[in-house]
Chain A
Amino acid sequence: MKILVPVKRVIDYNVKVRVKTDETGVDLANVKMSMNPFCEIAVEEAVRLKEKGIATEVVAVSIGVTPAQETLRTALAMGADRAILLTTDVDPEPLAVAKLLKAVFEEEKPDAVIMGKQAIDGDNNATGQMLAALLDLPQATFASEVVVEGGKAKVTREVDGGLQTLEVALPAIITVDLRLNEPRFASLPNIMKAKKKPIDIKEASAYGVDLAPHLKVTKVTEPPKRSAGIKVESVGELVAKLKDAGVI
């Protein structure tokens, strides 16, 4: 069984995000970039399936600027076997990413795509679903448990109000949620091995997909600062203050 794992290079989620002074976007100059945390969970799950003897090959794929190679190296250090990078300087929208992944899927013919439910930069939560639709394949989103058996995947997903278990025939698209697993630390020997694993670098433009954005960002601003709260002495005072504020 071959698993394709798309991974995205994003601003490290522990970095305090700053808005550019001209309000055109987030300042990425000299900012630590890392693998999207949901993608990390997807890589971990694929590697665990390989370690269990269920998967035979894990292929990581990324779309983005050349330094996204570092993100792929992290996936390789975690245990992916090889990687593909489609280079582009534009920041493609989910539909364009899904179309490019469809093209990679058709080249690679994997038995499953395991990917993050969303990237923490755009927070779109769209690419996995779009990819399933474009490929006309089953999808199981927000996975908190994945069991692969007999050409099928049993996926427990986190939904409002509880858990739902789906069974999907493979190949399928599985998007993962935070509670699926805890990604491993990359050991130094594996980091060194990863340097020797192949990364196939191609131009994204070669796939004939329209990468031009269809949305225009007009302005990015910081959320308004919260003003300090006050302490009240009694329930009565609390109710009075809430009434003053016109909220009850």
Chain B
Amino acid sequence: MEIGLLQHFRNFLGDEGIITDVDLIAPHLKEWRDRYFGNTPFMLAPNSTEQVQKIVKFCAQNHLKLVSQGGNTGLVGGQIPMGEILLSLHRLNKIREINPLDDCIIAEAGVILENLQNAAAQNNRRFPLMLASQGSATIGGLISTNAGGVHVRKFGMMRQLVLGLEVVLPNGEIYSELSALRKDNTGYDLKQLFIGAEGTLGVITAASLKISARPKYSVNAMLGLENAQMAVECLHALEEQTAAITAFEIMNKQALQFGIKNLGARNPLTELHNFTALVEFEGAFPDLPEHIEDALSTLIEAGKINDATIAQNEAQANSFWHLREGMSAAQKPEGRAAKHDVSVPISKIPSFLDQAEAAAKNIVNGARIVAFGHISDGNIHYDVARPENMPDDEFQNFIKDINHAVNDVVVSLGGSISAEHGIGIARKDEFCAREPKAHLELMKALKAVIDPQNILNSRNLFS
């Protein structure tokens, strides 16, 4: 590495802002599921928007490529550099403003989601985005991937929670509109361009975000269900009866078995059911538990639910969520898997599960199907784990075919091959092959106008 280049960055970033120690960079180059390992000449860690601006301007002038990274929790490889300079936003971690009366919080890109949730809670407000990696995932990455999670049915995806953005553009200019407005119809809504753009159109440095009232009462229940159709019916029956559902997650039997085995968790229900649902209800009045108990027992009596349990304290509620949120970690010891993050219209979930299973097993007989996710918004994490006795290397050969077959089912049901994780590098072949040509051309045209030198996250999205 040229000493001159390092010295240039060190001059305005200081020693803390440029990291060359291989051991310190290593954790930033490895995707946590061990699916991607990258390399980079050095890592830049600016702590202000001005520093980001200087970095990008310099890189634009010198044709240097950057890969931006937040909490490194992305699941499609988009945050892992392959030779590019790594731009880590983790030091850009200030919460600039909290305005409870505007229901608005302004946070920098490197703020960890959990810290944002806590900051809102301290002001008697709630930032409703909730997902398994919230202890590491950062705001910039969550916006760049338009993250979803468990509360999407009620509160929407990240896109619905963003009021305004501050973005360093590929030419070093700044787009800045950290607005608190819910209504603003003045021209193109430019911020939408950067949300879910996977860092290809700019580096997000800060955002103004929606906060809302905190829930006063919550109830968490685990339901044992006979099949996916029952899950869909239960979702709607419970919503009609309680109007209080904030999350409705399912796990198939295999998923729960992996959870119990590999997370050391207990099954909250006395038996293993074909599907287990974790349902979260929220309300403003103390009789919420009673309403939920009544609604659930009506469904049990009607034979719509096999069994159910309601958390009697926070520890039990946490143990339900521990199982659900540990689903990815629980699969790690089981070897290679073909992973999918798909969505279909809610009513099509049962057909999807049936057809995808047939398609996957047609390719690898004995594959273990791990299906879990957000039935309340149609998003299923559909993982096909290798048969117990098949070596990883052998199974690896089938992954592309399985991906393709599962995606065929998804598309035939009017679904999306990437619901909430994005395209990154993992799904770009499937994406580019399936996306209508006109859409792809428009996306590429936008990229060419905004980042003509292709310096930002240049390997994401397009082959």
**A residues with CB within 8 A of B:** 12-15, 30, 32, 34-35, 37, 40, 74, 77, 182, 185-189, 191-192, 195
The complex places the Cα of A154 from the Cα of B221 at a distance, in Å, of 37
The complex places the Cα of A40 from the Cα of B270 at a distance, in Å, of 19
Q: List residues of B (307-360) whose CB comes within 8 Å of A's CBs.
A: 307-316, 318
Instruction: Say yes or no: A185 contacts B297, CB within 8 Å.
Output: no
The complex places the Cα of A15 from the Cα of B316 at a distance, in Å, of 13
Q: Tell me what chain B mostly uses at the interface: helix, strand, loop, or mixed.
A: mixed
Min CB–CB distance A233 → chain B (angstroms): 14
Q: Which residues of B contact A12 (CB under 8 A)?
A: 313-315
A14 and B309 in contact, given A185-B269, A192-B297 (Cβ under 8 angstroms): no
Instruction: Say yes or no: A188 contacts B309, CB within 8 Å.
Output: yes
Residue of A nearest to B300 (CB): A188
A188 and B307 in contact, given A14-B318, A182-B266 (Cβ under 8 angstroms): yes
Count, chain B residues at interface, CB 8 A: 22
The complex places the Cα of A191 from the Cα of B309 at a distance, in Å, of 8
Residue of B nearest to A13 (CB): B315
* Interface status of B235 (Cβ within 8 A of chain A): no
Number of cross-chain contacts by CB at 8 Å:
58
Q: Which residues of A contact B310 (CB under 8 A)?
A: 186, 188, 191
A192 and B266 in contact, given A12-B314, A14-B318, A186-B310 (Cβ under 8 angstroms): no
Instruction: Say yes or no: B296 contacts A77, CB within 8 Å.
Output: no
Q: Which residues of A contact B312 (CB under 8 A)?
A: 34-35, 74, 77, 185-186
The complex places the Cα of A74 from the Cα of B312 at a distance, in Å, of 7
Q: Which residues of A contact B316 (CB under 8 A)?
A: 185
* Interface status of B226 (Cβ within 8 A of chain A): no
* Interface status of B46 (Cβ within 8 A of chain A): no
Q: Which residues of B contact A15 (CB under 8 A)?
A: 314
Q: Which residues of A contact B270 (CB under 8 A)?
A: 187
The complex places the Cα of A15 from the Cα of B315 at a distance, in Å, of 10
The complex places the Cα of A30 from the Cα of B296 at a distance, in Å, of 25
* Interface status of B216 (Cβ within 8 A of chain A): yes
Residue of B nearest to A192 (CB): B297
The complex places the Cα of A25 from the Cα of B70 at a distance, in Å, of 41
Q: Which residues of B contact A187 (CB under 8 A)?
A: 269-270, 307-309
Residue of A nearest to B286 (CB): A67
Instruction: Say yes or no: B268 contacts A32, CB within 8 Å.
Output: no
The complex places the Cα of A134 from the Cα of B309 at a distance, in Å, of 39
The complex places the Cα of A191 from the Cα of B216 at a distance, in Å, of 22
Instruction: Say yes or no: B293 contacts A191, CB within 8 Å.
Output: yes
Instruction: Say yes or no: A34 contacts B314, CB within 8 Å.
Output: yes
Residue of A nearest to B294 (CB): A192
Instruction: Say yes or no: A185 contacts B314, CB within 8 Å.
Output: no
**Subset of 10 A-B contacts with CB under 8 Å:** A12-B314, A14-B313, A40-B313, A187-B307, A187-B309, A188-B221, A188-B307, A188-B308, A189-B297, A195-B293
Instruction: Say yes or no: A30 contacts B313, CB within 8 Å.
Output: no
- Residue from A30, A77, A188 whose CB has the most chain B CB atoms within 10 Å: A188
The complex places the Cα of A185 from the Cα of B312 at a distance, in Å, of 8
Min CB–CB distance B242 → chain A (angstroms): 14
Min CB–CB distance B316 → chain A (angstroms): 6
Instruction: Say yes or no: B293 contacts A192, CB within 8 Å.
Output: yes
The complex places the Cα of A15 from the Cα of B293 at a distance, in Å, of 23
